[in-house]
Amino acid sequence: MKVLILESGRLFQKILQELLVDLDCTVSCVRTGEEGLELLKNTDDDTRYDLIIASQHIFDKSGSDFIEHCKSRDTPIILLTSEPNETLMRNARAAGIKDIFPKTNITYLKSSIRYYIQGEKTFNIQGGRVLYVEDSPSVAHIVTGYLKKLNLEITHFPSAEEAFHEFTDNDYDLVITDVMLKGTMDGLSLVRMIRATNSHTAKTPILAMTGHDDTQLRIDLLHAGINDYVTKPPVEEELAARVNNLITNKRLADQVREQQRSLYNIAMTDQLTTCHNRHSLQEYAPKYIKDSIRYKHPLSVLILDLDNFKHINDEFGHDTGDTVLSGIGKLLMTTCRQGDVVARIGGEEFMILLPHCAIMDALRKAETLRAMIEMSKPADLTVTASIGVAQLLEEHDKSFEALYKAADTAVYHSKENGRNQVTADKRAIELLELDRAGNA
């Protein structure tokens, strides 16, 4: 950016120049309006200044012609003042001054100029996808031209019906829609339907365009869920700024959502085995129990404890132990059904929640897993597991802790009886046999 400073004080001139150079600006300095006007007259369109920063004595006699020249060439002026007053503000507005910054607080002034300069350069929305709805070919041609200058990908439809069908099948960074549209759906209805979709795309920013700057219509649009609006025909610079803000904010929101998802996965996943962890299990288990009771389907749980795992760590090292755990974790996840929850709940202990699975089916599943673990030979070692199986019973009183304790007791019996075997919760088997006897 090429900047001209009009400031009589050499110290303040130097402060501004150093700041602007740090912001990668090309800087020239003059002390009077006459000097500034002479400099501006000697620049052509290719070398013209993008911004002028001037102190308030620009309104002296020597500066009036300077201001008029800037206005004729649409060169923005930022006014610096140490004595803000009503007359000065009125003169600044009449002269078309773009912004006014106080000179009294150097820190604030530097921050304001830095934000202004960098803000002017933050139109970094290249590659953004825009869904544009406009039934007027002439307006659509103009607006599409504006948007293409921002290096955006534009998909245009003349009707809201077509646009909504496209929206449900694809992701967009921004929706721009006219309010008054031909067909059975207007822009307001389109906004409401987008906001009602049951997915993350419901939060896609929407910019409404209207030829009628009606207060009630704006209120209705804002209530329906638009993020911003412009009147037609839109001013190119204003449209670019609003589009830039909306897409930039959307991308920031996407980043936050992705970071939240990543943090959630980290918090709920065992990093070594990529299985769920205890935190995840505590979240899923109550939901599975609630669904089991509500819909009257069985819920079983397996607890697997790798046999003599301490011996593996002691003899072969913890790296080998980690390889074993990682391999067993992957085996369990690949052999379980979608909807089952495989979690590492301790050093060498795993748990599997099995919805829609009664005790006998869970026993068969456990025996299959036991055999697969023994044959898998992670890190070229023979590894076995003792497994306990339990089913959710009425006497567990909807308690995950009670269900866990039943399976854990069964694991203990597998260990006591020689390891590398499957043991079922005795109470679950007793109830199953009683039920069978009653039905015989």
User: What CATH number did the domain enclosing 298 receive?
Assistant: 3.30.70.270
Would 271 be classed as within a structural domain? no
Structure confidence at residue 386 (pLDDT): 98
| 119 pLDDT more than 70 | no
High-pLDDT (> 90) share of the chain, % = 60
Contacts 24+ apart (CB under 8 A), 34-42: 34/62, 34/65, 34/66, 35/6, 36/4, 36/6, 36/63, 36/66, 37/65, 37/66, 37/69, 39/4, 40/4, 40/66, 40/69, 40/70, 40/73, 40/75, 41/69
Q: Are 191 and 291 in the same domain?
A: no
Q: Are 290 and 434 in the same domain?
A: yes
Q: Are 251 and 207 in the same domain?
A: yes
High-pLDDT (> 70) share of the chain, % = 97
User: Taking Cα atoms as reference points, which of 302, 306, 274 lies closest to residue 374?
Assistant: 306
Q: At 216, which CATH number?
A: 3.40.50.2300
Mean pLDDT of 361-381: 97
Structural domain count of the chain? 3
CA distance 109 to 86: 20
Structure confidence at residue 440 (pLDDT): 62
Would 266 be classed as within a structural domain? no
| 121 pLDDT more than 70 | no
CB atoms under 10 Å from CB of 57, counted, come to: 16
Structure confidence at residue 124 (pLDDT): 61
Phi, psi of 45 (to 5 degrees): -60, -30
Spatial CB neighbours of 433, under 8 Å, sequence gap ≥ 6? none
Q: Are 293 and 359 in the same domain?
A: yes
Q: Are 308 and 395 in the same domain?
A: yes
| 411 pLDDT more than 90 | yes
Active-site annotation holder among 348, 367, 394, 395: 348
pTM of the model: 0.61
| 67 pLDDT more than 70 | yes
Mean pLDDT of 145-174: 94
Three-state DSSP state, 385: strand
Q: Of 74, 93, 120, at which residue does a domain stop? A: 120
Would 83 be classed as within a structural domain? yes
Q: Are 243 and 381 in the same domain?
A: no
Would 265 be classed as within a structural domain? no
Q: Are 94 and 57 in the same domain?
A: yes
Q: Is 120 a catalytic residue?
A: no
Q: According to the per-residue pLDDT averaged within each range, which of 88-92, 108-112, 113-117, 225-229 is highest?
A: 225-229
Helix residue ranges per DSSP H, 179-296: 187-196, 215-224, 236-268, 278-295
Would 51 be classed as within a structural domain? yes
24 compared with 111, residue with greater pLDDT: 24
Q: Are 388 and 254 in the same domain?
A: no
Structure confidence at residue 120 (pLDDT): 53
Mean pLDDT of 356-370: 97
| 439 pLDDT more than 60 | yes
Q: Range of 27's domain?
A: 2-120
Sheet of 99-102, strands arranged across: 26-30, 2-6, 51-55, 77-81, 99-102
Structure confidence at residue 288 (pLDDT): 96
Would 388 be classed as within a structural domain? yes
Q: Are 155 and 206 in the same domain?
A: yes
| 211 pLDDT more than 90 | no
Residue 67 has which token pair?
């201001």
Averaged pLDDT score across all residues of the chain:
90
String of DSSP letters for 195-212:
HHSSSGGGG--EEEEESS
Q: Of 208, 229, 260, at which residue does a domain stop? A: 260
Helix residue ranges per DSSP H, 269-358: 278-295, 309-316, 318-335
Q: Are 352 and 374 in the same domain?
A: yes
User: Taking Cα atoms as reference points, which of 227, 221, 226, 172 lies closest to residue 199?
Assistant: 172
Phi, psi of 120 (to 5 degrees): -65, -20
| 84 pLDDT more than 60 | yes
Residue 356 has which token pair?
């829609």
The upper half-sphere exposure of residue 208, i.e. CA atoms within 13 Å in the direction of its Cβ, equals: 29
Q: Are 210 and 316 in the same domain?
A: no
Would 273 be classed as within a structural domain? no
Would 223 be classed as within a structural domain? yes
Q: Are 8 and 113 in the same domain?
A: yes
CA–CA distances in Å: residue 89 to residues 56, 94, 154: 10, 9, 41
Q: Of 100, 120, 140, at which residue does a domain stop? A: 120
Beta bridge partners, 5, equal 29, 53
